[in-house]
């Protein structure tokens, strides 16, 4: 009897160099248990916005839009590198009453990158073998 693989739904906050590269890597796993359901980027001219749209990912300009998706999002990857943005995202999530969605910081993205076999350095200066 085959066990059904759980689909994990994710959203990415921050589509700069790190976020857009991570989005591309996760999109390669689309249909293999991962589904990207949204992204947030305040700079509409960011190259990552175009990448997300090319991949069919909804792009928002406010984290509240992703938070309002509730249980539709399992993991929000905060790849902004901005402590204030992370604090605001956590506050939005707490105020929403959502007990399901978790926020994963960049260090978790680095780990996943490594586990996916990322041969190149993760954008943002973190070496593959030594975070």
Structure tokens at 17: 């160099």
> Are the CB atoms for 55 and 23 separated by under 8 Å?
yes
Tell me the per-residue pLDDT of 90-124, one tens digit each, with 9 for 90 and over: 999 999 999 999 999 888 888 887 887 665 666 65
Using a CB cutoff of 8 Å and minimum separation of 24, what contacts does 81-85 make?
81/14, 81/16, 81/18, 81/106, 81/124, 82/14, 85/13, 85/14
pTM, entire model? 0.84
Q: Confidence band (pLDDT; 50, 70, 90) for 125?
A: low
| Residue entry with tokens 């993991």 | 75
66-91 mean pLDDT: 93
Q: How far apart are CA 109 and CA 104, in angstroms?
A: 7
74-87 mean pLDDT: 92
Tell me the per-residue pLDDT of 19-72, one tens digit each, with 9 for 90 and over: 898 899 888 888 888 899 999 999 999 889 999 999 999 999 999 999 999 999
pLDDT of residue 75: 96
> Are the CB atoms for 82 and 15 separated by under 8 Å?
no
pLDDT of residue 28: 86
pLDDT of residue 129: 38
Contacts of 2 (CB under 8 A, 6+ apart): none
């Amino acid at each position: 009897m085959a066990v059904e693989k759980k689909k994990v739904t994710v959203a990415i906050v921050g589509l700069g160099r790190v976020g857009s590269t991570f989005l591309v890597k996760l999109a390669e796993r689309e249909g293999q248990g991962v589904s990207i359901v949204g992204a947030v980027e305040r700079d509409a001219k960011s190259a990552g916005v175009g990448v997300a749209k090319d991949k069919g990912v909804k792009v928002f300009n406010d984290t509240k839009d992703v938070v309002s998706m509730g249980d539709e999002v399992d993991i929000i990857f905060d790849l902004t590198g901005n402590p204030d943005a992370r604090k605001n995202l956590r506050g939005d999530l707490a105020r929403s009453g959502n007990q399901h969605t978790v926020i994963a910081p960049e260090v978790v993205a680095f780990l996943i990158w490594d586990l996916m076999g990322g041969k190149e350095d993760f954008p943002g200066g973190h070496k593959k073998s030594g975070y």
